[in-house]
């Protein structure tokens, strides 16, 4: 538990973080805005998935996801196949062109971060990753559980630096 002045300072940092996001957005390809980049990156990381799963990973409403996905499909970077198991669903999959695009996004962001964080050590970057990962977990799926702090699994210590794999069987969709 922290003090109120500490929370105010944290809020200022959260607000100021927008400048970092915008700078990262500026170096993206003009036909691949942030929403599209997020879709491609998540599909590359977690593999084929349905719209609902992608919406959960993006932590946005499915209507927003649908809009982003439509843009990416128009560019030919992913394809929407009907799900044979459930004809309401559609399976999203990266195309070869999409993988090329993912590589380009990775290259650009790595270049900018390598420049801006040139005086950061590996350990410092890893620490920031850990804290932001935990922050996200603490705010967790507050859409799925607005007022119930699920005491089942609360990570106290920061996770592994890279954390390459996540728990994906957790199918908490926006509850009606």
Partner DNA sequence: TATTGTTATACTCTATAACTATA
Partner DNA sequence: TATAGTTATAGAGTATAACAATA
Select from a second copy, DNA, none the partner in contact with residue 148, using the beta carbon and a kind-dependent cut-off of 5 to 8 Å.
none
Q: Is 74 in the site for DNA (CB under 7 A)?
A: no
In the block, which residue shows the tokens 């804290």? 131
Distance between alpha carbon 20 and the CA centroid of its chain, in Å?
16
* Paired residues of 90 in beta bridges: 82
Comparison of 132 and 160: residue with beta carbon closer to DNA: 132
CA distances from 130 to 16, 90, 133 (A): 20, 34, 5
Q: Is 81 in the site for DNA (CB under 7 A)?
A: no
Of the candidate spans 4-12, 46-54, 119-127, 160-168, the one that interacts with DNA by CB under 7 A turns out to be 46-54
Of the candidate spans 103-111, 117-125, 151-159, 168-176, the one that interacts with DNA by CB under 7 A turns out to be 168-176
Strands (E) across 11-115 are located at 49-50, 78-82, 90-94
Q: Is 126 in the site for DNA (CB under 7 A)?
A: no
Q: Is 13 in the site for DNA (CB under 7 A)?
A: no
Two structure tokens written together for 90: 């559609």
Phi-psi group of 81: left, alpha or beta (phi > 0 → left; psi -120 to 50 → alpha; rest → beta):
beta
Q: Give CA angle at 129 (127, 133), nearest 5°.
A: 120
Instruction: Please list every residue from 95 through 124 that binds DNA, using CB under 7 A.
Output: none
Select from a second copy, DNA, none the partner in contact with residue 74, using the beta carbon and a kind-dependent cut-off of 5 to 8 Å.
none
Q: Is 33 in the site for DNA (CB under 7 A)?
A: yes
- Report the interface residues with DNA, using CB under 7 A: 18, 22, 33-36, 50-52, 55, 58, 60-70, 80, 83, 86-90, 173-176
């Amino acid at each position: 538990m922290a003090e109120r002045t500490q929370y105010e300072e944290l809020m200022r940092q959260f607000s100021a973080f927008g400048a970092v996001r915008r700078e990262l957005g500026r170096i993206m390809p003009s036909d691949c805005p942030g929403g599209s980049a997020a879709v491609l990156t998540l599909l590359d990381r977690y593999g084929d998935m349905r719209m609902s799963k992608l919406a959960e990973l993006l932590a946005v409403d499915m209507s927003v996801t649908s809009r982003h996905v439509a843009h990416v499909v128009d560019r030919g970077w992913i394809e929407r196949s009907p799900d044979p198991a459930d004809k309401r669903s559609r399976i999203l999959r990266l195309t070869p062109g999409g993988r090329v695009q993912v590589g380009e996004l990775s290259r650009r962001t790595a270049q900018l971060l390598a420049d801006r964080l040139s005086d950061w050590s590996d350990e410092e970057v890893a620490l920031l990753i850990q804290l932001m990962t935990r922050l996200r977990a603490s705010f967790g799926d507050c859409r799925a559980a607005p007022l119930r702090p699920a005491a089942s699994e609360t990570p106290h210590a920061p996770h592994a630096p890279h954390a390459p794999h996540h728990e994906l069987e957790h199918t908490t969709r926006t509850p009606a």
